[in-house]
Structure 1
Amino acid sequence: MNIIEKFIKVLERYMDNLSIKKKFIQLYIFCVLLPLIITDSVVLYIEDSMESQRQYHEMANVANAVSYNISALVENAGEIAKSMYTNRRMNSFLEKQYESNSDYYAEYQNFFQDSTLENVLGMNQIVFTLYTDNPTVVKGGKIDTMSNLKETAAYEAWKERGENEGLFFVYERKRYANSYHRKIILLQNLDFFSKNKEKMLQIEFDYNSMMRMLRRMKFDNEVLICQGDAIVLSNGPFSGVGKKFDMISVQQKMGYKQTITLHGAKLDIYVLKADNRVRSKIVRFLPILGFLVIINVVLPMGFVLLLNHSFTKRIRGLSKVFQSVNGEHLVQMAHEDGRDEIGSMIRNYNRMVKRTNELIQTVYKNKIKEQEILVGRKNAELLALQSQINPHFLFNALESIRMRSLLKEENETADMVEKLAIMQRQYVDWGNDSVEIEQELEFVKAYLSLQKYRFGDRLNYNLEIDPECAQIRIPKLTIVTFVENACVHGIESKASPGWIFVRAYKREEQLYIEIEDTGSGIEEQKLYQMQHDMQNADIEMLKNKKSVGMLNACLRLKMYTEDHVCFEIEGEEGVGTWITICIPMEYLSFAEGCVNGPVCKRGKEIC
């Protein structure tokens, strides 16, 4: 049988154990609801994936558009800076030594009438300033001293970068004011013609104009332009030019990213995801989706429950009438309506019941009467037999023999008869299968006394019992069985005198019973077999073994202690045999009324 067949068998057994209601529910789940959920999930997943791809391309287009516009603006200013960098007239104007302020003003007017500078001055998004350390130049208008430039954060960043020109995003204090604001600065070192004088060009972009430019692009996505973790430009909510740059969060970094480098400034353009349009469509069409859920989920479920009721109502009725098989008369079903298979089965069942009741009336009841007569006759025969073998007759006879022996002064014979009566009474008194250890040892003592008449001086014995163990109950005829085995297999086969020792004591919540003999002993291989048989005694062993005395005692001990008993046997040929029985105290009980109890198994007090 292959794996598929095994799986089908397991599935069939599983379905056979389910009620019809659960079968219908599983039919609905696996054949209607689950395929519907999987199909809709796949459609939504595909739609969401396509929407994600479309958003990805849109974000890439947004990033490209932002990159193009920012780069165009900055590069336009950069071209102006390069033209000024290579402008010989500007270099002469900044390095010339003026004799008076009037000479400087005249040169200033002539210089700024240049067409290139007029175009720069006409751009409303940038402001440029020339810085020089020429002491004859008068500070004012578009001219300033290098000392003022060196106090700015942009100049410090330019010095740290170590390049000839660069773009910088800074947050610094306004000149002649005690407030800070954001700035976008392009610095160009004007040392192309001469390095005698320190000269620099600063182009400052209008921060607000650049923010408005991003907003005018009207993207659905939020765009963040970052230098490191600082958000230097954004089309989102404006936090104010007078506040420090906001820092980008880890979640915002999960959007589309594009990196550009403008005049040494590395800028990361993040385009954040817009609201998921698939989810917005779901929300918008929620009433229609609710209607579809009712059509595809609620109505099929109602129909399945209706089918289940049609099946289970009549099947429960059948199950109820089937319970009448325990009585003398089978019950018919009251309703036979329905033309389906169940209705047909009900009608056939009623016909079967009618016929069966007729057979019960004619055959079964007559058979019962015959059986009752036969059982009554057997009981009478058993009672008669029991009265014939009543053990009291045997005990009375033994007592008569003992009294007659005493009258004839045959004391030894009377003592033997008394011991035999004690033993016989113990054998036939099975009203309770357990007995106190002290009573069991009295029986052992009677048995050994009888055996001593047989063996004479060859048999000696010693019985030791811990007072704590005297009232503990064990299965009847347990110890004596092991003692009998010691006599038959130990002392009887040895010519020289031998001893039998019986001990019972408690140690660490364990009861120990030891039966030792100094007889002929047991060979090693047989010793191992006996150990195995004693520890694993069961009914099958009793059926197959010829000698079952010890196995019977071991089995009854295992049953009495719920299999929590250990047997250990040691011996040596020519030296003797030693059997130890170990039982946890929690699986033993005390005699009623003793000082240690009464307790039941597991050591719980009797209520």
Structure 2
Amino acid sequence: MKNFKILNNYSIRSKLLLIYLVCVLVPMTVTNSIFYITIRNSEEKEQRINMEHSIDRVKYNLDAVFDDCVLVSDHLYKDITLNDFINKRYDNLLSYYDRYIFLLQNNVIKYYYGPQHVYQVTIFTDNNTISDSDNFVKLTPKIRESEWYKRFGNNKEAMTISVFYDEDKKLSINNMARTISIIRKLDNFDKTHENILRIDVDYNVILNNILNEKMEDNIYICNNEFVLFSNRKSGVGPDKFDSVDSIQGENVKLNDFYKFKMSKEKWNIIITEKGMSPFLKIIEKKELFIELIILNLILPTIIIALISHSIGNRIALLNIYLRKVENEEFSIIEEYSYEKDEIGKLIRSYNMMVLRIKELIEVVFKRDVEKQRLELAKKQAELKALQSQVNPHFMFNTLESIRMRSLIKGEVETAEIIENLSALLRKTINWGEDNITIEDEMRFVENYLQIQKYRFGDKLSYSFYVMEKCKNIKIPKLSILSFVENACVHGIEEVSHDASINVAIFKYDNNLIIEISDTGIGIDEVKLNSIREKLNNAKIETLNNSKSTGVLNTYMRLQMYCNNGMQFEIESKIGEGTEVTIQICLDEIKLINHAVKENENINY
């Protein structure tokens, strides 16, 4: 093999071109010419036989489906108990339901669904004393204007096949809006009333029979207007029927029809070619087959063996060294690095890559690690700065309110308010975990509003709505309380009339929605735009330089909590009140909680 090392100096493109000419082009040209002529006639003949068999199976399956449905219709047509039920005039609903239960107990209705091919049995009647149900429906003007009813009325046959798209079933559980029905009058015993029986065929049964044919070609079942069934795709129940015109232009290979036993109507069965038909079946001609094997295997094997030896050994060697890189062992390949083809260039590039990786590890990686440590320290410092500024001013306002109330009234009732305030002070001074459940947060909010109600009296009312599924979701501590406090101090305090604060927390799609609204004095447009701009451009430096930190602090803590994925809206009108809406993706909360757990496990 050493004598053939000269191949190592040729490009892979040249080698592949040689493989193509010797191993692909010449053998394929010769063999395809022979096979095409030999196979064509026999293949086409066999395909036609298979298509005819498929059509026969389709006809057989259609007979089975419609024969079952016709048997059900014949049974109902001759059922005197059913006839008495639909023609009887009922004095009230109670007598009707007694009769209906009797009908069910005698197993008449249950018998309708014995055959697996029946999807729905419906009897339409002009008897206005019955009540609509799954099986019995009153003939209303709307039904008389429907497509299937008009077609049945125009058709003079005793039994007809109706094909239509039922919009009412589009959003049903089974999504079966495509409807094929057997329709006939129930006038065997009474011809004075109009009673129509409609048996809806199970569309999926026929469709699955078509799909089970496993044909390479397209098969269609059509009436004069629509393509009723095809093997092109499944799950088409909620889709409208395609027009027959949609298959125009396709290469029709076979056209037959299916004639109904109970009606004069006929359905066309069409098979069209799906793309180009490959003649790939090898017939049994041993002598020719052996000669082609010799031509197609021996010569290509020699050429491929030489080229494979040129490429394979060096690729395997390169793979070994790359595996060493995966194990952080960076070794240089000295052998083969002088060769001129693409693999030789690849080996030289690998050697350069190894040297570069060593340099990156020693210089860049260490620098990036240090940078990440500094960034992490900065984030932790910012978070501590945010936590240290949470709502000191609302505690002062509350204590001042209690003091003034006590001085004015001299009442002992302030003890309860002081108890609520103490609970809040303990939670804020002893910070603990930064994130708590919504249920715990709403306890803080209720304590705070009880204190404020003590301050404002009947002027203030409040209400909460928390969806049960939201109670255990964690959010930053005092995040809702900050907005409630802001509503009390800046909204309720400024009005003379009665006002309210409402908090609603619920899930919508995959989002947590928090709404805090008040009916206080509201915010003018200029100040509202200033608040929005301040929130949109919030930074830790802005917080340090701001006189009012409550809402800004909470906004930044929420944004940090959900990786800047929170959507925040504030709307207000003078004299009407203010509404704050917070939307957080629940997936972000799950990712954050998962990361916190992993970090706790690592620290542990």
TM-score normalised to the size of structure 2? Answer: 0.38
Larger Rg: 1
Q: Which has the higher contact order (CA 8 A, sep 6+)?
A: 2
